[in-house]
Structure 1
C-alpha cells in the first residue's frame, strides 16, 4: 500500500461556503401548510398597492361582514388620507340588491371592520355596484337513487374487490344519476 499524501490546506475562499452553510439554521419539513399561509405572501404586494396593509381583510372578508354579505360584496381599495393613520375610505363593490343593504347597514359594517383591524382605521365606505367576484353557493347534490347505485355496482363487479371497485361504483352511481336527471327534463 502506498502512503496517502497529506491534503493541502484549504484557502479561505473554500472554507467560506461551508462556514455559511453550517451557520445557517437547518429548516425542517413540518408537514403540509394551509393554503392561506402560502397565498398571503404572494398576494401581499398587490394588496399593498391597493392600500391593504393587511391581506387578511381581503381573505377573511366573509367572516368579517357576515357570510351572506360576504358572498355579494368585495373590498376593492382602501384609500388613506395623506399624513393620517386613521380615517381611511374603504371602496366596496356590491351586487345589485346587496348595494342597498350595504348602504343601510354601513354603520354596523364599519364597526365590524374596525373591530377586526383593532383600531378606527376605516371612517367611511364608498360603494360601487358591480360584480363582487364570488361564485354563488351551489345547492348540495342529491344522493344517487338505489336503482343507479345497484346498476353501478353490477357494472363495477368485473373489477377485483377493493377500494378501486368501491370508488368506481360510487362514480358510476353519480354518473347514472346525473344522466337520469338530464333525460327526465
Structure 2
C-alpha cells in the first residue's frame, strides 16, 4: 500500500479555474449562480442529461433569488425526456447550490 503526501501550495486545477472565473463574473455582469451551473452542469445533472442538453442562461425575476433556466436540447425526442425530468433537474440544482436557484426551466430545441 502506497501513501501519497499532499504537497502544500498545490491545488486542483479545476477548482483554481472555477474560482478565477467566478471572480471575473462581476466584470461581465454574470451572476455567480449562473456561472456555477454552467461550469458544473455534468456534475449537477449527470452524464445522461448533460449529453443531450446544456444550459444557456439563468434569468432572474426582479427582487428574487430564483429564476428560469433556459436549456438547449439537441433533438426533439430528447426535449420530451428533459420535459419529464424538469422536477428532478430543479431538485438536483437546488441540492448542488444549497438553495432553490431555479423555479422553472424553458427548453429550446437546436437542430
Q: Larger % of strand: which?
A: 2
Whichever of the two has the greater Rg, that structure is 1
Alignment map for 1:14-163 (pairs within 5 Å): 30-31=9-10, 33-44=11-22, 45-46=24-25, 49-53=29-33, 55-86=35-66, 88-96=67-75, 97-130=77-110
Give the TM-score, by structure 2 length: 0.74
Counterpart-to-counterpart distance in 2, 1:67 and 1:60: 11
Q: Larger % of helix: which?
A: 1
CA contact (8 A) 1:51 1:80 kept: no
Stretches of structure 1 that go unaligned for 5 or more consecutive residues are: 1-28, 132-185
Stretches of structure 2 that go unaligned for 5 or more consecutive residues are: 1-7
Superposition RMSD in Å: 2.4
| Total equivalences in the alignment | 101
CA contact (8 A) 1:85 1:121 kept: yes
Larger RCO of the pair (alpha carbons < 8 Å, separation 6+):
2
Once the two structures are TM-superposed, the CA of residue 124 in structure 1 deviates from its matched residue by: 0.1
Structure 2 counterpart SS, 1:83: coil
CA contact (8 A) 1:94 1:130 kept: yes
Give the TM-score, by structure 1 length: 0.47
